[in-house]
Amino acid sequence: MSYLEHEDHKTHRVGWLRAAVMGANDGIVSTASLIIGVAAAGSSQDAIIVAGVAGLVAGALSMAAGEYVSVSSQADTELADLKIEAVALEAYPEQEKAQLAEIYENRGLTPELAKMVADQLMQHNALDAHARDEIGISVNVNAQPLQAALTSALTFTVGAALPLLLAWFAPLDTLIYWVGFFCIALLAIMGAIAAYAGGASLFKGAFRVGFWGALAMALTAVVGQVFEVTV
């Protein structure tokens, strides 16, 4: 293995990884919590399945729309900043070069070297240099609205299908326990996988996802019990 192959950075995965983790996590947590809440209210198995399917469809579309709008807003902001910077480079090239040199000088380069680097980078691609070092826009993590929307919808559907299948096959009297136990386990596994893909601690990834999922399911079970009593 070469040196460059050994240095496997994770930042380029941020866009799709965030959407995938959020989609699958929401799919499992929201659908499992909905199923547990409805089951705790004393509903029939058919009613539980209908609620779960409705939650899956609504959740997948909501995730896709939410991610698309959110990431599109980010992309619009980045594009607006790039247009502003392009105008400034056209109107004030020397001032922009001095600004870039000052950034490099503040990072530790000598004034002479900073000016040399700024000059060469602006000759190569001035807008790219300013986008990266002045604005903080990187090609590795730029906004991709459609990718984020499709990833979220797909992973939400897959995540939501798991508790739905459990609710379909589990006995009604123990359905809450089957869905709760297996979904918390799935969340922990998913958190560990996401942590591994992002180069983080497996334990921390598994714990934080499993904990919040368990809390959501417990609270919806309480809500279901309250409605069962009041109704």
- pLDDT tens column, 171-215: 999 999 999 999 999 889 888 887 887 678 888 888 988 899 899
* pLDDT above 70 coverage of the chain, percent: 87
| Closest to 160 measured CA to CA, from 202, 205, 213, 198 | 213
Report pLDDT for 143: 62
Each residue of 1-37: pLDDT tens digit?
444 444 444 444 455 566 667 778 889 999 999 999 9
| Model pTM above 0.85 | no
Mean of pLDDT values over 119-144: 78
Distance CA 114, CA 106 (A): 9
Q: What's residue 21's pLDDT?
A: 72
Give the pLDDT mean for 40-67: 92
Cα 79 to Cα 222: distance, rounded to the nearest angstrom: 47
Burial class (CB in 10 A: 0-12, 13-18, 19+), 69: exposed
Confidence at residue 231, expressed as pLDDT on a 0 to 100 scale:
40
